[in-house]
Amino acid sequence: MKRSVTLATAALIAAPGLAWAAGGAIEGEVAKRSVNVTAIGMFLFFVLATLVLTAWAARRTKSTSDFYTAGGGITGFQNGLAIAGDYMSAAAFLGVSGMVFTKGVDGVFYTVGWTVGWPLILFLIAERLRNLGRFTFADVASFRFDQNRIRTLSAFGALTVVIFYLIAQMVGAGKLIQLLFGLDYAYAVVLVGVLMVAYVTFGGMLATTWVQIVKAVLLLGGCTILVVLGLAQFGFSPEAMMQAALDNHTLHEAIRAPSASISDPITAVSLGLALMCGPAGLPHILMRFFTVPDAKAARKSVFFATGFIGYFFVLAVTIGFLAITLVGTNPAYLDPAGKIIGGANMAAIHLSEVVGGNVFLGFISAVAFATILAVVSGLALSGASAVSHDLYARVLMKGKASDKSEMKVTRFATLVLGALAIVLGLAFEDQNIAFMVGLAFGLAASVNFPVLIMSIFWRGMTTRGAFVGGLLGLVSAVACVVLGPTVWVTVLGFETAIFPWEQYALFSMSIAFAGIWLFSVTDSSKRAALDRAGFDAQFVRSETGHGASGAVAH
């Protein structure tokens, strides 16, 4: 049991980009902090600045292309920062440092998995995605297939991922803000929802990208200062810092070895797969590749993003080791039982107060909140575009919708998503919603990713194969989560889990890929012949970029 709880936490933290989620992120009862004026002041300044940015972006957001992809005018470097921003969530920052704080090197097991996914995305997906798509990843997944079925499947794949993530983010945001600023949970949720809608409806992708860039710079800068100030306490000697961590941690030398939670091979493989393939199925991350002008810039984005992400994770892990000594031995941050106040994920926040006083604490808290805001905005935008571009303009109107009506639908969809996020955020305050993150992530890896990658690379895939395989991936991911330890045992209260593993990507992904293969090779319909015949044109475009949207005519 203890082990499955550890795994539950691991699963949470495992979802890149956003999974810093609820329940696992802030443990136990959240004690409301006294109102922190400095933190609120800095945060208000950030909000003000981003609203000015949004007003500027709103004047430049006129067409659907502006709205979805900032007109494709973001540079590779900017997009690299924005991708890194999407990835460096509160989960990564607070979750990884918290994990190192409690368990030691386990944290680095995750950060390595998150980082190595990026070279693979670059080698296999990034440029082909840019060459084939225009606004959403469904553009690519449904390129040569029956629009009704495959685009609808992809759009729903995107929407479910977005909604589950949004709920988790909203609940997590509410709790975190309670802790950081002493604000009421309900205020926090409404505030996040309203700001998210404002950024997206008015400023579209341009505002969302710049909010993400500003936040990424603040987070990278803040963490760098945190590490430098922390190391200063050890005379800038990493060796002295680590020695002190070994001396002061209750587990001592054991924090140098991986804990039991990652020593099961099936779990390790499943987790590794999920860490690597997950981001390639997350709609708000994939959408970033359409904001740059061409394949060249798409490659550069990944190059810069990987650098920023790798650097950030080194900082996050180091922050955890610094906190072991500087926070873990400081009675001001421990409750009578010797546990850290607010749970392990507060380690980085407490550390900022130790090394930089109240002002720095305010700054780091504001950055953590900004992080949540930026991530939910990206999610809302990709969810809205699945509704307006995929479902409304392509499936319902068969591509005959006017730019104007599509924009209306997209703004309305954002509003509905915002309202939904607020209502569900409030409704789920005291629920165990940890499984939602796992589910959202599993869906990304088991539905969106297999359909996308096979549609790009496998000539033999047909509409039927993609549709049935995608559905099988969806059903098996949901089944693994519901029958697994978190939902079956923790939420529903059954004695033992029917599906014993917390990590299930190995199973659901295999089922999806096998389904796609089986139902494609046995498909001899007329549609199947069309699907296969369409591969050559798709292949030329995906490899050369000829005919790609936004590419300059040669």
Partner 1 sequence: MDPIHDKILADPRFRELVSRRNRFSFTLAVIVLAVYAGFVSVAVFNPALFASSFAGQSAWAWGLIAGFCIQGFAFVMTGIYTRRANGEFDRLAQDAIRGGKAA
33: helix, strand or coil: coil
DSSP character string of 56-111 = HHHHH--SHHHHHHGGG---HHHHHHHHHHHHS-HIIIIIHHHHHHHHSTHHHHHH
Q: Minimal distance in Å, beta carbon 17 to partner 1?
A: 17
Q: Which CB sits closer to partner 1, 332 or 552? A: 552
Which one of residues 84, 99, 295, 386 is an interface residue with partner 1 (CB under 8 A)? 295
Distance set, CA 317 to CA 187, 220, 370 (Å): 32, 13, 21
Q: Map residues 214-243 to x or -, x wherever contact with partner 1 holds by CB under 8 A.
A: ------------------------xx--xx
Q: How far apart are CA 383 and CA 155, in angstroms?
A: 8
Among 30, 51, 120, 479, binds partner 1 (CB under 8 A): 120
Q: Specify whether the CB–CB gap between 291 and 203 falls below 8 A.
A: no
Q: How far is the CB of 120 from partner 1 (least distance, A)?
A: 6
**Min. distance of Cβ 75 from partner 1 in angstroms?**
14
Handedness of CA 507, 509, 513, 515 (dihedral sign): positive
Considering the rule CB under 8 A, would residue 250 count as an interface residue with partner 1?
Answer: no
Cβ contact 180:39 at 8 Å: yes
Considering only 197, 245, 375, 516, the residue that binds partner 1 (CB under 8 A) is 245
- The rounded distance, in Å, linking the Cα atoms of 34 and 169 is 23
* Segment near partner 1 (CB under 8 A); pick from 3-11, 284-292, 507-515, 534-542: 534-542
Site string for partner 1, 251-270 (x = CB under 8 A): --x--xxx---xxxx--xx-
Query: Residue 119 in 3-state DSSP?
Result: helix
In the list 118, 156, 435, 467, the residue contacting partner 1 (rule: CB under 8 A) is 118
Structure tokens at 360: 């720095």
Q: Does 547 bind partner 1 (CB under 8 A)?
A: yes
Task: Rule CB under 8 A: choose which of 37, 44, 492, 537 binds partner 1.
Answer: 537
Rg over alpha carbons for the chain, rounded to the nearest Å, is: 23
The string of DSSP codes covering 159-211 is HHHHHHHHHHHHHHHHHHHHHHH---HHHHHHHHHHHHHHHHHHHHHHHHHHH
Given the rule CB under 8 A, which of 28-36, 303-311, 433-441, 458-466 is the region that contacts partner 1? Answer: 303-311
> Binding marks (x or -) toward partner 1, 416..445, rule CB under 8 A?
------------------------------
Determine, following the binding rule CB under 8 A, whether residue 335 of this chain makes contact with partner 1.
no
**Contact footprint for partner 1 (CB under 8 A):** 105, 108-109, 111-113, 115-116, 118-120, 122-124, 127, 238-239, 242-243, 245-246, 253, 256-258, 262-265, 268-269, 272, 276, 295-296, 299-300, 302-303, 306-307, 309-310, 313-314, 317, 536-537, 539-541, 543-547, 554
